Amino acid sequence: MKLREFAKQLGLSPTTVSRALSGYPEVSEATRARVASEAMRLGYRPDINAVRLKTGRAGAIGVMMGRSGEIHFAEFVSGMAQRLETADTDILITPITAHNDDDEIQAYRRLVESRRVDAVIIHSPRPQDPRIEMLNSLGVPFLVHGRSETEHVHAWLDIDNEGAVRRSTEHLLDLGHRRIAMINGLRGKTYSIHREQGFRIAHQERGLIADPNMMVCDKFSDESGFRHARSFLERANAPTAIVAGSTMTALGVYRAIRSLGMTVGRDVSVIAHDDVFPYLTAENMVPSLSTTRSSMRAAGTRCAELTLQLIAGRAADEIHELWPVELILRESTAAPR
């Protein structure tokens, strides 16, 4: 089916249909969704080679996959795929094993200069992230999943990490807990800095001081959750509650509590940030896990949409989205014994 035939069936102009499929921001969301739905129903697909020849685009968005966080990454990319399957845009995943910032910068530079992608999505930024400065200098569209404090203009989508941990900690403090430990994400990342701020602010607002000896930073994994929780709980002045950075971390925390003959929710309360994994749901854990909820897959879908808009010409300084986080209380948190 030719573009003109497809547009005629929809009662739209070929230009509108083309722009809807390419993610142009001036096309309404309702029109874009209708065009995408009808394209799938009728089996319409643009001639990719003709489109790329005409536009000069590679038809791909680049993302880097690091050595940790594979589960979160898989969920994010699954969300991207949901949006891009009707946009004739591929996802180019480049593995990165960089050991320092310079190696990582060069990996991004090689990706952009290869002209295999039209845009790039950056994950887990730092407050002053050199990748943002470099991508700005190359003039390539890019979106930051997270936030940075750099002076360089960048489009971003982030969740309220500070508010998420602040609310979690407030809940535990309101229950009567005073010895609260926190297993945070990787040190130096903006999200982990914001989460620590939320943890400290919750204490400060009640005239308390968060114990720095009760805070650690590490990758999100069952192993790190077990190791750090066990270390905390074997101390003479052990915590009565633990804030875990992810559901994966909480799995390890649960194991550590049980390995010491204690019970989650009764002897030690646990609350975590939950990324709504389809194969690891907080409500199915025993006991069910209290969480702050934010879908990594939904973030992937929205980041893909915003990146398409950047490729289509939308200004980066117009794209700043901060998503609220929902607090869901279940059985893993209770008043201290």
- What CA–CA distance (Å, rounded) separates 73 from 52? 28
Residues 6+ away with beta carbon under 8 Å from 169: 180, 182, 198, 199, 202, 203, 243
Tokens 């949006």, residue located: 83
Classify the phi-psi angles of 276: left when phi > 0, otherwise alpha if psi is within -120 to 50, otherwise beta. left
Q: How far is CA 158 from CA 12, 164, 319, in A?
A: 35, 12, 11
> Domains of the chain: which residue ranges?
3-55, 60-159+297-323, 161-294
**What band does 53 get if pLDDT is binned at 50, 70 and 90?**
low
Residue 69 confidence (pLDDT) above 60:
no
- The residue that leads in pLDDT, 45 or 301, is 301
pLDDT at 51: 57
CA-based nearest residue to 253, from 232, 275, 274: 232
Q: Is 82 a residue whose pLDDT tops 60? A: yes
Average pLDDT rounded to a whole number, residues 238-246: 97
User: What single-letter amino acid sits at 28?
Assistant: S
CATH superfamily of 3-55: lambda repressor-like DNA-binding domains (1.10.260.40)
- What does the pLDDT average to over 75-79? 94
- Chain segment 256-271, per-residue pLDDT in tens: 999 999 999 999 999 9
Query: Which tens digits make up the pLDDT trace of 178-204?
Result: 999 999 999 999 999 999 999 999 999
Alpha-carbon span 55 to 308, nearest angstrom: 14
Contact predicate 227/255, CB 8 Å: no
**Whether residue 220 has pLDDT greater than 80:** yes
The contacts found for 39-48 with CB under 8 angstroms, 24 or more apart, are: 39/6, 39/86, 40/86, 42/1, 42/6, 42/9, 43/1, 44/1, 44/6, 45/88, 46/3, 46/18, 46/21, 46/88, 48/88
The residue ranking higher by pLDDT, 86 or 273, is 273
DSSP H or E run through 190: helix 190-204
For tokens 């930073």, the residue is 217
Residue 291 confidence (pLDDT) above 70: yes
What are the structure tokens assigned to 81, written together? 């795929």
Q: What is the CATH number of domain 161-294?
A: 3.40.50.2300
pLDDT value at 90 more than 60: yes
Query: Cα separations (Å) of 162 from 77, 193, 198, 291, 331?
Result: 24, 8, 4, 14, 23
Q: What's residue 49's pLDDT? A: 58
Question: How far is CA 60 from each of CA 13, 22, 53, 142, 304, rounded to the nearest angstrom?
Answer: 26, 12, 14, 12, 11
Burial code (b: 16+ CB inside 10 Å, e: under 16) for 189-218 equals bbbbbbbbebbbbbbeeeeeebeeebbbbb
Let me know if the fold of 3-55 is the same as that of 60-159+297-323. Answer: no
Mean pLDDT, the chain, integer: 91
Domain 60-159+297-323 is classified in which CATH homologous superfamily?
Response regulator (3.40.50.2300)
Per-residue pLDDT band for 331 (boundaries 50, 70, 90) equals very high
- Report the run of H or E that residue 92 belongs to, with start and end: strand 90-95
Query: Comparing 32-36, 57-61, 136-140, 277-281, which segment has the lowest mean pLDDT?
Result: 277-281
| pLDDT classification of 225: cutoffs 50, 70, 90 | very high
pLDDT of residue 54: 59
